[in-house]
Structure 1
Amino acid sequence: MSGAGNGFPVPDERQLDLERLDLERLARLRAQLVAHDCAAGLFYDPTNIRYATGTSNMQVYGLHNPCRYVFVPAEGPTVLFDFAGCAHLSAGRSAVGEVRPAVSWYHFIVGERVAEKAALWAEEIAELMARHGGGERRLAVDRLDPAGLRALEARGIAVADGQEVANQARKIKTPQEVLAVRAAVDGCETAIGRMAAALAPGITEQALWSHLHQANIELGGEWIETRLLTSGPRTNPWYQECSGRVIEAGDIVAFDTDLIGLHGYSADLSRTWVAGERPAGDAQRRLYAAAFEQVTRNIPLFRPGVSFGEIAARAQRPPERYRGLPGAALAHGIGLCNEYPLIVDPSAWEAGGVEGRVEAGMVFCVEAFAGEPGGREGVKLEQQILVTETGPELLSARLDETLL
């Protein structure tokens, strides 16, 4: 971390090697293509495109308009299909072998010509499979509308689940990714500091939330995926979105950053404060203590070799009176966004639990929500950790203990 003129730290990125970052990620993705018996992958999700190529272009637009994609053979050069006129954006990226204009066949662009354009698109993909697939016809695809699936299958291509391939590649962070994650978390902490400085009775939730956005963009971050900042009675139940409510003295203010920051990496931290100079009330302190204890006691469970089921079974949970509301999962993976795996609360394990094991190099967010059904307020806390060979390392700042 290096000092900033405004009194808040800014990320120190001097050690990050972007070429290594790109090539190490691509190598992991290719290894998973081989492991899943796929000759190549075709990725539309902007986060998967970034993972494969290191490139970024209209990321949020691309989340709902399939305007760019990348063909990644298990062996051979990647082919990035980018938005028309954007080939220059990937100049010099070592993970990009070739750039071509994307063939768009989504309805917004082509109207009633979807089937026609999808056929042209599929012909190009089939040609690449014939050239680089070594005779294999199995292609991993992360997102695909029905017309595209039909067009590929008509050309003898077997489509496999590309999102699983990408998830398995992305779950272990490379050394350069760890540096990028640290930079993103540092940037997020800076933004949180600016929010804390701006918090005063009379500010609206939305005005306070805007400080997070402004700082993220200023520091080189990208976007924020949710609008989870609430105050007073709007903190309970959780998952209400930010509003124009005026924050009053003594209100709890709780938020979840869900921030896509530097280098496209996510920092997902939750904090809860009390507005103004008024001391926290007894009920507020009990809520905070319950969430604090859950997060801090669960972090040490994340050690290499421990199964997700073991974590759920051994996890600290809120007191019984705070269990009647839908709340946060115990933990989830994180990288370019919230990622696999999701470790659910023990009460949801039978219906939604997914088994696996913690490995060194995984990054998790460990979280908790404490709120009583019918109660006035709730507390949300969340910390980001890196799993090392010797156990978890806290990436985010220590939680405030003044409310305990």
Structure 2
Amino acid sequence: MARHSALPPVPDAAVLRARLDRARATAAGTGLVIAPGSDLRYLIGRAGGSFERLTTLVIPADGAPALIVPKLEAPGFDGLPLADLGVEVVTWVDSVDPYRLAADRLGGSERVAVSDFTPALHVLGLREALPKAEQVLAGPIVRELRMRKDAAEIDALRKAGAAIDRVHARVGEWLRPGRTEAEVGADIDAAIVEEGHAEADFVIVGSGPNGASPHHALSGRVIEAGDVVVVDIGGPVAEGYNSDSTRTYAVGTPRDADVSATYAVLQQAQQAAVDAVRPGVTAESIDAAARDVIAGAGFGEYFIHRTGHGIGLDVHEDPYIVAGNDLALEPGMAFSIEPGIYQAGRWGARIEDIVVVTEDGVEPMNKQPHDLVVL
């Protein structure tokens, strides 16, 4: 069944104006071309849609920004305070070259930063219209704006965290022997919406050996008594900010004798990483805090991904909590802490919370207990 919802709330015009001003300042003489998606939503309040016809926000190094949009798509941006933001709306029809419209507003910029996920047909169209301009990715510029969440964004993350906690609290209603992962996943998908999300973005139910695949998703495997089951779920609330939380469950007494001791190591690792979060420490040091515990217990080879990823309007965004990232954490940065231990062909486990760096430490967005949940 298709889901229909009201248009998402739009931040105050003053907030959006400040973001546009910071985008121009951060770009420092580079023209910006922002495609539909989370970056566009961050800057003007709505994500729009990416199709074969070009829609883009152009922010020249000098001059007023312009939203270039096909005339038939323009109603999708109704209700935004674009005039208050000083954003000119430039509509076009199929007989017009939209890439030339973008090039004209960039004013002969020698360097143009294009959104990371702009479709190739639009990147190449812009390149043809601006043959002398150097094209670079806008990601490094935009991430400087989005990495540090303001109070309203943190409130939205709290709302999302509480909503997904309510879903995890209900998993015992659906997870039992004889049901397939897909059946359990369908119930969780519905509950994600029931408990306050705009939609479910992802549902992972990895039972038994499937739990050793971190991004397994769902299958027709029938859940058995004794299975350890990884449940990783999330989605956006109305404001667009996402939840992402993992808990690990056992369907009755685990069949494998090593589950309890191994899971205790994972709990210790996850808590060590949370405890290490504070302003000034590096992203890679948080990864090391979790990884050192797991490696020290002899499970290093079974922790096969980074400790965390940033979260906000996207489920995965900067900062990434991974070895080699020497970024110093600052208040307002939000990210997951999600170490895992995955033993291929046997079982896996993961514990994941979203946390926000505060002025003097850390605030977890998720409050559900971290114990192995035996159903």
TM-score by length of 2: 0.83
Structure 1 position 299, deviation (Å): 0.6
Gap change, CA 1:317 and 1:28, over 3 Å in 2: farther
SS in 2 for 1:71: strand
Structure 1 position 80, deviation (Å): 3.1
Structure 1 position 189, deviation (Å): 2.2
Structure 1 position 144, deviation (Å): 5.5
Gap change, CA 1:144 and 1:238, over 3 Å in 2: closer
| Aligned counterpart, 1:341 | 319
Pair 1:397-2:370 in alignment: no
Matching residue within 230, 240, 243 for 2:219: 243
Q: What is the aligned-residue identity percentage?
A: 26
Structure 1 position 24, deviation (Å): 2.6
* Rounded Cα–Cα distance in structure 2 between residues aligned with 1:373 and 1:170: 37
Pair 1:363-2:338 in alignment: no
| Aligned counterpart, 2:112 | 139
Pair 1:323-2:300 in alignment: yes
Structure 2 matches for 1:79-158, cutoff 5 A?
79-82=66-69, 84-94=71-81, 97-101=87-91, 120-130=97-107, 136-142=109-115, 143=118, 145=120, 147-154=124-131, 156-158=132-134
TM-score by length of 1: 0.77
5+ long unaligned stretches in structure 2: 1-7
* Rounded Cα–Cα distance in structure 2 between residues aligned with 1:296 and 1:289: 11
| Aligned counterpart, 2:4 | none
The structure with more helix, counted as a fraction of residues: 1
Gap change, CA 1:74 and 1:170, over 3 Å in 2: farther
The answer as to whether partners of 1:188 and 1:261 remain within 8 angstroms in 2 is: no
Pair 1:303-2:294 in alignment: no
- Per-residue deviation, residues 207-228 of structure 1 (Å, max 9, x unmatched): 111233223344342341x553
* Rounded Cα–Cα distance in structure 2 between residues aligned with 1:169 and 1:200: 44
Gap change, CA 1:25 and 1:268, over 3 Å in 2: farther
* Rounded Cα–Cα distance in structure 1 between residues aligned with 2:153 and 2:58: 22
Matching residue within 169, 182, 185 for 1:206: 182
The answer as to whether partners of 1:29 and 1:165 remain within 8 angstroms in 2 is: no
The answer as to whether partners of 2:248 and 2:372 remain within 8 angstroms in 1 is: no
| Aligned counterpart, 1:179 | 155
SS in 2 for 1:179: helix
* Rounded Cα–Cα distance in structure 2 between residues aligned with 1:325 and 1:358: 27
| Aligned counterpart, 1:107 | none
Structure 1 position 293, deviation (Å): 1.1
- Whichever residue aligns with residue 114 of structure 2, its letter is V
Structure 1 position 402, deviation (Å): 5.6
Pair 1:384-2:360 in alignment: no
SS in 1 for 2:258: helix
* Rounded Cα–Cα distance in structure 2 between residues aligned with 1:74 and 1:31: 12
Structure 1 position 49, deviation (Å): 1.3
Structure 1 position 197, deviation (Å): 2.0
* Rounded Cα–Cα distance in structure 2 between residues aligned with 1:378 and 1:292: 13
The answer as to whether partners of 1:221 and 1:262 remain within 8 angstroms in 2 is: yes
Gap change, CA 1:179 and 1:326, over 3 Å in 2: same
Gap change, CA 1:94 and 1:299, over 3 Å in 2: same
Structure 1 position 81, deviation (Å): 3.7
Structure 1 position 179, deviation (Å): 1.5
5+ long unaligned stretches in structure 1: 1-15, 105-115
Pair 1:48-2:23 in alignment: no
* Rounded Cα–Cα distance in structure 1 between residues aligned with 2:301 and 2:261: 16
- Whichever residue aligns with residue 333 of structure 2, its letter is M
| Aligned counterpart, 2:205 | 229
* Rounded Cα–Cα distance in structure 2 between residues aligned with 1:189 and 1:23: 33
Question: Which stretch shifts more, 29-38 or 326-335?
Answer: 29-38
Gap change, CA 1:157 and 1:366, over 3 Å in 2: same
| Aligned counterpart, 2:169 | 193
* Rounded Cα–Cα distance in structure 2 between residues aligned with 1:264 and 1:31: 21
* Rounded Cα–Cα distance in structure 1 between residues aligned with 2:102 and 2:91: 13
The answer as to whether partners of 1:30 and 1:74 remain within 8 angstroms in 2 is: no
Pair 1:254-2:230 in alignment: yes
* Rounded Cα–Cα distance in structure 1 between residues aligned with 2:63 and 2:159: 32
Gap change, CA 1:206 and 1:102, over 3 Å in 2: farther
- Whichever residue aligns with residue 11 of structure 2, its letter is E
Structure 1 position 36, deviation (Å): 3.1
Gap change, CA 1:366 and 1:278, over 3 Å in 2: same
Question: Which stretch shifts more, 28-37 or 180-189?
Answer: 28-37
Gap change, CA 1:18 and 1:204, over 3 Å in 2: same
* Rounded Cα–Cα distance in structure 1 between residues aligned with 2:305 and 2:361: 23
